[in-house]
Amino acid sequence: MPKSDLLHLADLSAPEIEGLIKRAAIYKKGSAERPLAGRSVGLLFEKSSTRTRVSFEVAIWRLGGLPIFLSFDDIQIKRGESIADTARVLSGYLDALVVRTYEQSKVEEWAQHASIPVINGLTDWHHPCQILADLFTIWEKRGGLKGQKLVYIGDGNNIAHSLIEGGAKVGMEIVIAAPEGFQPDPAIVKQGERMAEVSGGRVSVESDPHKAVQGADVLYTDVWVSMGQEAERAQRLQTLAPYQINQKLVDRAKDDVLVMHCLPAHREEEITAEVMEGRHSIIFAQSANRLPMQQAILELWVTN
């Protein structure tokens, strides 16, 4: 079959997402399957990482494969070798490549020139592996996804973009609560609206977080200052301060609302410690689910 890449969730169908969730559930129960035996997967990271790197390395090992970590500081790209040449070289050694970088165009360039599957481990525009794990977590806690109202609060970044795509595909209601200038890309919102029309879901953008969270089943946030945005820190903290997930905001949602954060968290900025450690938080269950979902992702993209 032709090479398939995982660059963003818009390319997946609802049955494919549901299939990944069901496979992740099997791996979480302790499946001893080793479909990557004799295979190697490169982890090419331009951005630092805790959860993505460790979960992928352990997932590859558990599936019987060999993980090879490749820092941009340690390969010849640092000395001017092109992505096109490096992708072709690595394709001769590896069975798949996970790329964590800045611009979405870079991961697409890797995919264009590699003859092996390329998996987006994070870009400034999308974070598909994270959101697949998040959907798995909600599915575990709620018994399903369709009709669940998820409100993402804060900076309309890569997490917001992938939540729109993934949530719209599976029939969720996705609301992005963000101030002007920090709202998600309009083209992705429009695309999400079209996908939601098919699935029975809904996608919308709201500037008032207190209005947005009413009736919410899930609240979700992310850091306000992502890697590469450090120079904007003061402005971001000031503008996004009204979008903090605190107990007052949580109390406006459903009584059994779930609170999520993709981590790392800056406590007392985008979320309070009280909420992170409170009864609604499933943040560390969410983090743990990165591992079984990475196993499901690797099985599908590396072996097919």
Q: Note whether 98 and 47 are same-domain residues.
A: yes
pLDDT for the residue 254: 98
Tens of pLDDT, residue by residue over 117-164, are 999 999 999 999 999 999 999 999 999 999 999 999 999 999 999 999
Q: What percent of the chain has pLDDT over 70?
A: 99
The single residue listed with the structure tokens 């800045």 is: 102
Q: Note whether 283 and 293 are same-domain residues.
A: no
Q: Note whether 163 and 55 are same-domain residues.
A: no
Q: What is the mean pLDDT of the chain?
A: 96
* Residues identified as active-site: 100, 127, 130, 222, 262, 290
Domain count along the chain: 2
Which pTM does this prediction carry? 0.97
The single residue listed with the structure tokens 């995919």 is: 111
Q: Note whether 193 and 244 are same-domain residues.
A: yes
Q: Note whether 66 and 201 are same-domain residues.
A: no
Q: Note whether 51 and 143 are same-domain residues.
A: no
Answer whether residue 4 is part of any domain: no
Total residue count of the chain as it appears in this document: 304
Answer whether residue 2 is part of any domain: no
Q: Note whether 41 and 183 are same-domain residues.
A: no
Structural domain that includes position 68: 9-127+289-303
The CATH number covering residue 63 comes to 3.40.50.1370
Answer whether residue 162 is part of any domain: yes
Average confidence (pLDDT) over 38-49: 96
Q: What percent of the chain has pLDDT over 90?
A: 94
pLDDT for the residue 2: 62
Q: Note whether 270 and 294 are same-domain residues.
A: no
Average confidence (pLDDT) over 67-96: 95
Q: Note whether 160 and 273 are same-domain residues.
A: yes
Tens of pLDDT, residue by residue over 194-205, are 999 999 999 999
Q: Note whether 100 and 155 are same-domain residues.
A: no
Rounded to a whole number of angstroms, the CA Rg of the chain reads 19
- In this prediction, residue 26 has a pLDDT band, given cuts at 50, 70 and 90, of very high
Q: Are 65 and 39 in contact (CB under 8 A)?
A: yes
Torsion angles phi and psi, residue 258, rounded to 5 = -100, 140
Answer whether residue 3 is part of any domain: no
Answer whether residue 48 is part of any domain: yes
Above 70 in pLDDT, residue 281? yes
Q: Note whether 64 and 184 are same-domain residues.
A: no
CA distances 140 to 32, 48, 120, Å, are: 21, 29, 24
